[in-house]
Amino acid sequence: MTEQIDKALAREYEAGFVSDVESETFEPGLDESVIRRISQMKNEPEWMLEWRLSAFREWLEMEEPDWALVDYPKIDFQAISYYSAPKSMKDKPKSLDEVDPELLRTYEKLGIPLIEQQMLAGVAVDAVFDSVSVVTTFRDKLEEAGVIFCPISEAIQKYPELIKKYIGSVVPKKDNYYAALNCAVFTDGSFVYIPKGTRCPMELSTYFRINEQNTGQFERTLIVADEGSHVSYLEGCTAPQRDENQLHAAVVELVAMDNAEIKYSTVQNWYPGDEDGKGGIYNFVTKRGICHTNAKISWTQVETGSAVTWKYPSCVLKGDNSVGEFYSVALTRGRQQADTGTKMIHLGKNTKSTIISKGISAGKSNNSYRGLVRMNPGADGARNFTQCDSLLIGDKCGAHTFPYVESRNPSAIIEHEATTSKVSDEQMFLCRQRGLDPEKAVSMIVNGFCKEVFKELPMEFAVEAGKLLEISLEGSVG
Amino acid sequence: MSNTETLLSIKELHASVEEKQIIKGLNLEIKPGEVHAIMGPNGAGKSTMGYVLSGRDGYNVESGSVILDGEDLLEMETEDRARAGLFLAFQYPVEIPGVSNLEFLKASVDAQREARGEDAITSADFLKEAKAACKQVNLPVSFLKRGVNEGFSGGEKKRNELMQMLLLKPKLCILDETDSGLDIDALQVVAEGVNSQRSADRSFIVVTHYQRLLDYIKPDFVHVLSEGKIVKSGDASLAHELEAQGYAWLQTAPAEDELEG
């Protein structure tokens, strides 16, 4: 049976193609001159460059973290190129007609048509290709509602006051090694601002694509939801199938002002490497949101890709009565390694957090949940509920749970539940005896296991996530 | 339905589990529409027989043949045997958390229809059928939304098995100790469900330890399985004899565990 499951899991990575696009790519290497060049390419104001340089100087003093349960060869930061953009993007196409058709075809192949008429109704997309944003759709419609949705590089020029106020306000420059690196070299990403009392009329989404070889992708996303506003945002990501590892170190900052709500969903499908662990993306990401009074931030992630994942989307529950949620499905197979979870920092009174984590391990992979729940002295009446479930497929994989609980307020209530189960022979036999083939059986069992998380995804993407899991599991049964 | 006169033909079947031989020369012929009861002491190989026929992993056929409706059953994958019309009602139905009964049933029916080259059934039509099946086995319709067997009582699980049978409409149903753990009311519901499905083109193998179930599901034949083969066959009256006298008189030598006991 294990053999069958492995076979069902051994699937082809459908997003593994390379686009034939002529790019302008920096020589590998990292020093202050590289950062100056990035800043220059982006036409940035002086203050932004200074901010980058100070982050770079901090980074040089920092150590690479080694506490996660992941194992990979030391990264040579001088062997990475820190900027790559299609040449056709140099003239900044003003409309879709001017965008290189090959770029549009790339996204179409990935199932993300950028022609507005063909798109899912009600979803605006910012498409980021290596280090630049190719196009952002439905901008006019969003502007009518006062919503700003644009590449962050553009926001730095057009909305400097907003950027100055909020960039680095949730994830400080020297928060951690990869965040500091991102501050120094980030290239593009999305900026979202929802004005007071506005409900964003569409789902917003950013699609990240790494194409160029030996290039790192360092994107940065900043979402500010002003008082009483509401936004739902989704990011997706893929990369070509290559034998070399590639680094992706992103920073996402969310600011939910009083009574605001941000729903942030991720469907992560970076190239995971081959069966023997060759190639694949190192996904070292820092995501954090701050909730002011009565605000709510909800993180939902479906992580199926990347060779190594190091990622802890977190909430700082600063305002009284604020709410943080984290719903996660992490699937590892082959030689994939994931160390992922969340941090819920309760500062305000009556703050609430919910953590639902579903880890699925197959093949020879390792899947760890690492989560911190901290109740600060001021967090009177705060509550947390955590549920961590692990599902093992086969007997060569590992599932680990590292919960950290720190309570400094006696009135705070913390609950933690954890289970580990296996896709059992009995379940497989029942499904097959009813006529289901083994692949369908495994994907059904796994989908059932993930149900609580999938129901948190925006409707348009829940189906996609289910399918993604199905593709990921293809061949993992035998 | 094909024209072969025999639906199931088992000849000299030998099978083992973890290298231990359990089925030792089993012979059985079942015609369309017949109900055969398999009785026998614990450890006789009754459940093993069901698993071997349905192709469970780890149950290895060493020799012999099994033909279902003209096809070599032993050459088929587990799911293909199901699609060919073989249904096993489990003694201990397993839970599949988070997968709704309805989703599971629809996927099963879809897979079987597709394999037979039939058109897919619409969700609306299927829901109608599923609701009717629920009613027939005396389960609330809300059970369709619940996870497969998730938190069901023993009796509910058995009735859920029966519901699956009603929807899949198999040619051959193997009921593996479906009566175990059922009170008399639940037993009647299950028996009525089975009886309602008896027809000229559907056969049953009713595996049971006790004669009680056979008061409700009247078998055409009763076989006694002991040490991996059928040691005695007869009509329904054999079940009463067994009830009165036990199995010991049929065994050439006492079973080892009885000696130890």
The H-or-E segment that residue B25 falls in is strand B20-30
Q: Which residue of B has its CA nearest to A451?
A: B98
Q: Considering chain A, what percentage of its residues have pLDDT values greater than 70?
A: 90
Domain that holds residue B253: 8-97+171-260
pLDDT in tens, A339-368: 999 999 999 999 999 999 999 888 888 999
Closest CB from B58, B83, B147 relative to A448: B147
| Closest C-alpha to B239, from B32, B26, B36 | B36
What per-residue confidence (pLDDT) applies to B185? 85
pLDDT of residue A428 exceeding 80, the answer is yes
A437 vs B contacts (CB less than 8 Å): 79, 111
Q: What b-and-e string marks burial along A213-241, b requiring 16 or more CB atoms within 10 Å of the CB?
A: eebbbbbbbbbbbbbbbbbbbbbbbbbbb
Interface-testing mutation among B48, B54, B148, with chain A (most A C-beta atoms within 10 A): B148
Percent of chain A at pLDDT exceeding 90: 48
Q: Is A146 left (phi over 0), alpha (psi -120 to 50) or beta?
A: left
State the average pLDDT over residues A398-411.
93
Please name the residues between 210 and 229 in chain A that touch chain B, using a CB distance below 8 Å: none
Nearest CB among B55, B93, B111 relative to A436 is that of: B111
d(CA B157, CA B174): 16
| In-domain check, residue B122 | no
At A175-230, the pLDDT tens digits run 999 999 999 999 988 999 999 999 998 888 888 877 777 788 899 999 999 999 99
Radius of gyration (Cα) for chain B, nearest Å? Answer: 18
CB contact at 8 A, A112 and A209: no
Of A1, A426, A432, the CB nearest to B79: A432
Q: How far is A161 from chain B (nearest CA, A)?
A: 48
Q: Considering only residues 430 to 459 of chain A, which have any Cβ-Cβ distance to chain B shorter than 8 Å?
A: 430-438, 440, 444-445, 447-452
In a domain, B235, yes or no: yes
**How many beta-carbon pairs under 8 angstroms link A with B?**
76
| Bridge partners for A448 per DSSP | none
In a domain, B180, yes or no: yes
Q: Is B103 on the interface with A (CB under 8 A)?
A: yes
Do the chains contact at A450 and B98, CB–CB below 8 Å? yes
Closest by Cβ to A435, choosing from B90, B112, B148: B112
The domain spanning residue B67 has which CATH number? Answer: 3.40.50.300
Point out the residue among B57, B94, B168 whose CB comes nearest to the CB of A430: B94
What is the reported pLDDT for A6?
54
Whole-number Å distance between alpha carbons of A373 and A378? 14
Length of chain B: 261
- B88 interaction partners in chain A (CB closer than 8 Å): 433
In a domain, B154, yes or no: no
Q: Token pair for residue A404?
A: 């950290």
- Whether the CB of B83 is below 8 Å from some CB of chain A: the reply is yes
How many of the other CB atoms lie within 10 Å of CB of A136? 21
The string of DSSP letters for A85-127 reads: EEGGGTT--SSGGGS-HHHHHHHHHTT---SGGGSPTTEEEEE
Q: What angle do CA A104, A108, A112 make, to 5 degrees?
A: 105
Check if the beta carbon of residue B174 is closer than 8 Å to that of residue B54: yes
> Does residue B139 form part of some domain?
no
Residue A172 scores a pLDDT above 70: yes
Number of domains in chain B: 1
| Cβ pair A438:B79 closer than 8 A | yes
Closest CA to A258 of A290, A225, A296, A292: A292
CA distance B86 to chain A (A): 8
What residues does A194 pair with on adjacent strands? Answer: A225
- Measured CA to CA in angstroms, residue A259 lies from A199, A291, B49 at distances of 12, 9, 64
Question: Which of B77, B88, B104 should we substitute to test contact with A (largest number of A Cβ atoms within 10 Å)?
Answer: B104
Residue among B215, B133, B143, B147 nearest B179 (CA): B215
Q: How far is A136 from chain B (nearest CA, A)?
A: 37
CA–CA distance, B22 with B1 (Å, rounded to integer): 32
How confident is the prediction along chain B (261 residues), in pLDDT tens digits per residue?
444 589 999 999 999 999 899 999 999 999 999 999 999 888 889 999 999 999 999 999 999 999 999 999 999 999 999 999 999 999 999 999 989 999 999 999 999 999 989 988 888 899 999 999 999 988 999 999 999 999 998 889 999 999 999 999 999 999 999 888 888 888 888 898 899 999 999 999 999 988 888 999 999 999 999 999 999 999 988 888 887 887 776 665 444 444 443
Considering only CB atoms, B82 lies closest to which of A433, A444, A452, namely A433
Q: Give the single-character DSSP code of B193.
A: H
- Tell me what the mean pLDDT of segment A254-283 comes to: 89
Residue B188 half-sphere exposure, CB side, CA atoms within 13 Å? 2
Of A428, A435, A444, the CB nearest to B83: A435
A434:B104 CB<8 A: yes
The reply to whether B41 falls in a domain is: yes
> Is the CB of B180 inside 8 Å of chain A's CB atoms?
no
**What is the pTM (predicted TM-score) of this model?**
0.83
Task: Report if residue B133 sits inside a domain.
Answer: no
Contact A429 B57 (CB under 8 A): yes
Token pair of B158, please? Answer: 């058995």
Q: Residue A430: its chain B contacts at CB < 8 A? A: 90, 93-94, 96, 148
Q: Where are the alpha helices (DSSP H) in A280-356?
A: none
Interface touch A432/B168, C-beta < 8 Å: no
Task: Assess B184–A contact: CB distance below 8 Å, yes or no.
Answer: no
Q: Return d(Cα A232, Cα A328) in angstroms, integer.
A: 17
Which residues lie across from B218 on neighbouring strands? Answer: none
B74 occurs within a structural domain: yes
Collapse the DSSP code of A46 into the 3-class scheme (helix H, G, I; strand E, B; otherwise coil) and give the result.
Answer: helix
Helix and strand numbers, DSSP H then E, in chain B: 8, 12
Q: By the CB < 8 Å criterion, does A96 face chain B?
A: no
Task: Report the alpha-carbon distance of residue A392 to residue A122 in Å, rounded.
Answer: 37
Helix, coil or strand: residue A312: coil
